[in-house]
Structure 1
Amino acid sequence: MLSYQHAFHAGNLADVHKHALLAWVLDYLTRKEKPLSYIETHAGRGLYRLSAPEALKTGEAAQGIARAEDWFAPDHPYRLRLEEARAMYGADCYPGSPLIAALGLREADRLHLAELHPGEHAGLRAALDGWDADIRREDGFDMALALTPPTPRRGLMLIDPPYEVKADYERVPKVMAQVARKWNVGVQMLWYPILSGRGHVPMVLALERAFPQGLRHEVGFPPAREGHRMIGSGMFVVNPPWGIEDETARLSARFAPAG
């Protein structure tokens, strides 16, 4: 299935969770002079307009980044990437993870992106026009296995499938284990939705068995609208960088309901 389009959900609270942690980890990794590789398996279109009909229809950005931006200090990597994207693309833009990565990487770093959906792939190419990026229209899991271990060997992989079908949940632990065997120094960051049906639980338990030193971080929030099944956001990190527990604790405090 190739029906998922993130434009309806860009800038929601799950994006805030995912992108804040991604920006923080990239900032941590780029403090060392050694170059790194960034690999993203399901990139989307990379740049979204919060004034677009899709975003206005769901109202998820209005309940997400519009309310949550002040959670982050002006020098937080996520806040910096938001400001940089707006300066380049306009005040109504929201950067997806490929653009957040591109803005945070350095000249010597390498950027590899996969997106199978034809429309999203075309949008991704347009958004990153002029950037030195390896952009592929192919299955992201296949790219992950083909590229690892990458050159440079230091680096980060973001895994963010659409979870349109149950097979996504079943495939993730297998692919992440294969990647780890080939690239034991790589940081793997998996995002997953927390839905009312809790379909993520077997996947996460499998990951915790495979990666007992991994970091699991989940936040909850109210449904964006009546009948919406997403009630939270999760991240599972293999080879979590030092200090990430402090960052996840800050995020947990921000997502905690008032009172």
Structure 2
Amino acid sequence: MLSYQHLYHAGCIADVHKHAALSIVLSKLAGKGKALHYMETHAGRGVYDLTAPEAEKTGEAREGILKVLEKGQWPKKHPYFHTIRETKKKFGTDYYPGSPEIAHCLLRPNDHLHLMELHPGEFFALKSNMRARNIHLHHQDGYKGVLALSPPENQRGLVLIDPSYEIKSEYNAAADFILALHDKWAEAVIILWYPLLKDDRHKEMCATLEKTELPKFRREEIIFADRNAVRGMYGSGLIYINLPAGIEDTLTQSSKLQQL
């Protein structure tokens, strides 16, 4: 949807869940091996000013990353916090890294970032924020763009899928895209984020993906609010396909720090 702007929600607890997990997986993949191709279907603007009027209007960052930093419970060497420190150095103390900047902080110069964004305003900001020789920006539908680039030559990479889910059809579209992507690029590590809402729209999508028996499949969900007391999200979910071995415990520990 072209009306969605993530700046209103940047740094929320769902972002913490998603970005902490992404950092763990990327650190593992970038630790060794040939060049990596990182692709995003919905890149947004890359980095976010948490003092912007849009961010302050919702206050979600105050209940998300700002509270997490204040509590100081996470391991100091966690790759997620490395990316936060690097973003503050580069952009300013009030800035928060979106997934493109997280990938840029953790990946190597010989790795490639392919960032898809259809919203014209967000793409304009993305061009301003994300500049490097190994960053490739695409102003187009993310699903079509990623499929067109898949598989890369060395078939090593990660695809992050993070739609807005503003309309019900986005759930089925995400599942259909994952199945099409896996058919083209079976080796790709895939991470799908989804919200937990009262109407449980995510359940059909998750069931579709689970019954296909995709390789190295993992599903995790965190609950950060009483579903009966909130109008919007009460939790956050992630699905992984081809999850690299050896990081399951780290992902579990990170998730536990974010539970209600």
Q: Normalization by structure 1: what TM-score?
A: 0.95
Which stretch has the larger CA shift, 189-198 or 215-224? 215-224
SS at the partner of 2:85?
helix
Within the alignment, does 1:189 sit opposite 2:206 as a pair?
no
Superposed, 1:73-222 pairs within 5 Å as: 73-212=75-214, 213-222=216-225
Answering whether residue 67 of structure 2 is matched by residue 41 of structure 1, we say no
Cα RMSD, aligned residues only: 1.5
2 CA distance for matches of 1:73 and 1:136? 35
Sort the Cα spacing of 1:223 and 1:136 in 2 relative to 1 into closer, same or farther, 3 A.
Answer: farther
Which residue in the other structure is 1:17 paired with?
A: 17
Bigger Cα displacement from structure 2, 68-77 vs 185-194: 68-77
Residue type of the alignment partner of 1:31? G
Separation in structure 2 between the aligned mates of residue 84 and residue 191 of structure 1, nearest angstrom? 24
Residue number in structure 1 paired with 2:31: 31
Aligned equivalents of 1:7, 1:42: Cα separation in 2: 13
Q: CA deviation at 1:249?
A: 1.6
SS of 1:218's equivalent in the other structure is strand
Residue 211 of structure 1 deviates from its aligned partner by: 3.2
Structure 1 segments of 4+ aligned residues over 3 angstroms from their partners: none
Change (3 A) 1:105 1:209: same
Match of 2:240 in 1: 237
1:112–1:122 distance in 2 versus 1, CA, 3 Å? same
- Partner Cα separation in structure 1 for residue 169 and residue 246 of structure 2: 33
Amino-acid identity (%): 45
- What secondary structure, in the 3-state scheme, does the structure 1 residue paired with 2:186 have? coil
Could you tell me how far apart the structure 1 residues matched to 2:211 and 2:6 are? 31
For structure 2, the 5+ residue unaligned runs are: none
The alpha-carbon deviation at position 20 of structure 1 amounts to 0.3
Name the SS of the counterpart of 1:222 in structure 2: coil
Q: Is the 8 A contact 2:111 2:134 kept in 1?
A: no
Matched AA of 1:233:
S
**TM-score, length-scaled by structure 2:** 0.94
Aligned twin of 2:251: 248
CA distance in 2, matches of 1:71, 1:246: 17
